[in-house]
Structure 1
């Protein structure tokens, strides 16, 4: 598996998704260790987690090798994933 981390770490959506994932993981570890991670009340905590999960999804779905959230013209023409072998 080859990943161009230089490009990914310069892409805002990827960084936002990675940060949101880190917050969710920290929260889950806190719950496992017995800490109360409720923000204000249960509903606010659930809403916060939903927003974080959405941000993680955006960071995963977006192509970090292009500007913004669109795929490149080349990627839009693919019928199947490109095989680099």
Structure 2
């Protein structure tokens, strides 16, 4: 599985998703050890977790333009994320 991590780590969408995933993981591990991570009350915490889960889904690591989990040959050659508005790599 080949993934252009240098470019992925420059993508704001990917970084938001990765940070959200990390927060959810930290919360689950804390709960495993009995640490209460409730923000204000249970409902607010549930809403916060749902927002984080949606952010993770938005920044899926998978490249939808290829089959499997690897980046396309074109994406492997990028030096920074492509701007789809003008169709050119910058």
Fold agreement, TM-score > 0.5: yes
Indicate the residue corresponding to 1:7 in structure 2. Answer: 7
Q: CA-to-partner distance for each residue in 1:17-66, whole Å, 9 max, x for gaps?
A: 00000000000000000000100000000000000000000010785854
Task: Confirm or deny that 1:38 pairs with 2:38.
Answer: yes
Task: Confirm or deny that 1:67 pairs with 2:77.
Answer: no
Query: TM-score with structure 2 length normalisation?
Result: 0.69
Unpaired stretches in structure 1, ≥5 consecutive residues:
73-85
Alignment of structure 1 residues 44-59 onto 2, 5 Å? 44-59=44-59
The answer to whether the 8 Å contact 1:13/1:62 transfers is no
Unpaired stretches in structure 2, ≥5 consecutive residues:
64-74, 76-80
Work out the number of aligned pairs and report it. Answer: 70
The structure with the largest helix share of the pair is: 1
Runs ≥4 residues deviating over 2 A: 61-68
- Hey, what's the Cα distance between the residues in 1 that align with 2:7 and 2:44? 34
Indicate the residue corresponding to 1:80 in structure 2. Answer: none
Indicate the residue corresponding to 2:27 in structure 1. Answer: 27
